[in-house]
Amino acid sequence: MERSVAGMRRDAVVTERARDSQNRGPSRVSHSPLGTERIRTVVVEDHEAIARLVADRIAALIRERDASGEQTVLGLATGSTPIGVYRELIRMHETEHLSFANVVTFNLDEYYPMPKESIHSYHRFMWENLFSHIDIDPANVHIPPGGLPREDIEEAALRYEAAIARAGGIDFQILGIGKTGHIGFNEPGSGADSRTRLVTLDAVTRRDAAADFFGEEYVPREAVTMGIATILEAREIAIIATGEHKASIVQRAVEGEIDLEVAATFLQEHPNTTFYIDRAAAAELTRIKTPWLIDEVTWTQDLIVRAVIWLSQQTGKAILKLTQRDYADARMSSLVAKFGSPGEVNGKVFNVLGAKIRGKSKLPVGQKIICFSPHPDDDVISMGGILRKLTENDNDITVAYMTSGNIAVFDHDVRRYVDFLQRLAAEGRLDEQPVQALATRVNECLDRKHPGEVDIPEVQDIKRLLREAEAVSGIETVGLPRSAARFLNLPFYQTGKVRKDPIGPADVAIVRELLAEIQPDLIFVAGDLSDPHGTHRMCKEAIDRALAERAPSDDGDTGTSGRVRQPEVWLYRGAWQEWPIHEATWLVPLSQEELRLKIQAIFKHQSQKDSAPFPGGYDEREFWQRVEARNKGTAAELDRLGLAEYFAMEAYVVE
């Protein structure tokens, strides 16, 4: 997303004030100079940058306190949001000798009831993802109790509050933000005076957590959480949000009124809170979405296109019908002045959008193409239409499935296919002894299995093979041969759990070897970074690193400069959201028949049909329904803007 020069200057001011605040400590600081923002907000490019910023601040605080002989008290959160911060702190401990020997920690919350040893417990999460990798004294680690009898919880909560007070209060508190705006597990209705206590979880929160527990029915209905008052007593607070699915609640928390139903809005009253967000999570902030409404802007082409599309949507008029009055009412007179008349502005944007449309005749012909699919269905979900067109254009296409997707298969599907094998064996079509041995082991393990428990290797393999067969069937539906499928099975995914390992050299090497083998002219990569468990983002990281590491010796294909000729990169979306028209580089029209064929290909992924294990907590529709709505919606939006009318469209961004 293109930012105005003024907007970038403002971000620099905000960041500088954040640094000044950190140097001064917990004293009150000015909010962003933008009147719409009530919490200081730092927008950075990606989640890795957020992790570095927050970890750097924590490290500076620890070193400062160590130098003065004081301990540092940290308030910690769990889940995917802070895990990058913890990995960076571990790196600092291992390579920069950052010591946690004089650090005391208090975690925000814990599910109830929840035994410490459970795979779902926050106690286990913290030890696996931070404490076991640093030199912290276990006696200095405090996590709310999840395994006590109910009658003991109230007294334990009081002791937790007392322990925080004895430690001198929390110096630095890390927070995430839930879809309801909750911080910790302070759900809608939590009061500003609330303290550590047992709470009932909101239905939305439980739905968001369903994937971690392999079903909403297994998510605990209660949790022990620090209260809002406890959180607000921290001297400094960092609240982190990433991904487009957090954009609306971030905007509500930062720009909306303080509201009992949105706990994060209470942070507006805290003297030293900073929101750290990536550009996707910042998308709904006024200074990002409509900066011309609050300040003078530099009218770049991207900003012009975005602004005129917005004005067309606000007025309900086609672009070519926008008038001087429309621009004046929207505080966009400077844009008209830049071009001399509304007609000139309208015509420019109309032509820019029209040039984005690429039918089959304008798509690549006879090229080598790799479609990188993070999961075994992302290819047809996100780009089933263009895959059909590219096949018809005689391109040499490889679909590289980066992970097995085996954790996203229900156990009952495994039982069904094992039963099928047993029936074949009973009819003499398979050797009965090994089939029966496999069936016995699989069924016994599934009978003993607790929700979310890691599968035995045999079950993991059956789930992997099931998804591979579905993937092959899917690409055959859009006209590709079975031989086009390549299953990379990147190591980072092979934990058997929802949470994955970081991308490592082995993952990058596999991708790099494929690039060297195929020598593609064009690659498609998932830019759908709101994937709730980060697999899309991590797969993109592996591809980016593989591209960066390529050398002339990889394939011998170099230009005159001696550098490797890199493939063009097209980013696709679809599973979790679609590219907005103003961001899209290319818009690929689909006919009614092409959309029908795409949906048929999605149907081939039967293990993900009707009730997928990981649908995402913020969109209850099946994937094919999302695809149909988004592809038709993109075409309808183009029609409303006054351009050509198409049945459906896929959108792509050239990186």
**DSSP-assigned letters across all residues of 603-630:** HT-GGGSSS-S---TT--S-HHHHHHHH
C-beta of residue 436 within 8 angstroms of C-beta of residue 422: yes
Our measurement of the distance from residue 429's CA atom to the centroid of its chain's CA atoms, rounded to an integer in Å, reads 46
Label the pairing between strands 103-107 and 141-142. parallel
| Contact residues for 152 (Cβ-Cβ < 8 A; gap 6+) | 145
H or E element that contains 512: helix 505-518
How far apart are the C-alpha atoms of 386 and 244, rounded to whole Å? Answer: 24
How far apart are the C-alpha atoms of 167 and 160, rounded to whole Å? Answer: 11
Nearest-10 Cα torsion for 249, 255, 257, 258 = 70
Tokens found for residue 298 = 């530099």
Nearest-10 Cα torsion for 73, 77, 80, 81 = -80
Strand partners, 41: 275
Neighbours of 642 (CB within 10 A): 17
- 3-class SS shares of the chain: helix, strand, coil, % to 5: 50, 15, 40
Identify each DSSP E strand in 27-128 by its residue range. Answer: 40-44, 72-76, 103-107, 109-112
| Contact residues for 293 (Cβ-Cβ < 8 A; gap 6+) | 286, 330, 331
Label the pairing between strands 172-175 and 72-76. parallel
Map residue 333 onto helix, strand or coil: helix
How far apart are the C-alpha atoms of 480 and 106, rounded to whole Å? Answer: 54
Q: How many residues does the chain have?
A: 655
How far apart are the C-alpha atoms of 489 and 404, rounded to whole Å? Answer: 6
Question: Is 187 annotated as catalytic?
Answer: yes
Of 110, 187, 594, 628, catalytic:
187
How far apart are the C-alpha atoms of 371 and 368, rounded to whole Å? Answer: 10
Strand partners, 197: 225
**DSSP-assigned letters across all residues of 516-574:** HHH--SEEEEE--TT-TTSHHHHHHHHHHHHHHH--HHHHS-B-TTS-B-PPEEEEE--
420 burial (CB, 10 Å; 0-12 / 13-18 / 19+) is: exposed
Query: Measuring CA to CA, how many Å separate 257 from each of 265, 277, 337, 426?
Result: 7, 20, 36, 68
Tokens found for residue 633 = 């919606």
Residue with tokens 């045999």: 458
C-beta of residue 88 within 8 angstroms of C-beta of residue 52: yes
156 burial (CB, 10 Å; 0-12 / 13-18 / 19+) is: middle
| Contact residues for 118 (Cβ-Cβ < 8 A; gap 6+) | 124
Write out the catalytic residue numbers. Answer: 187
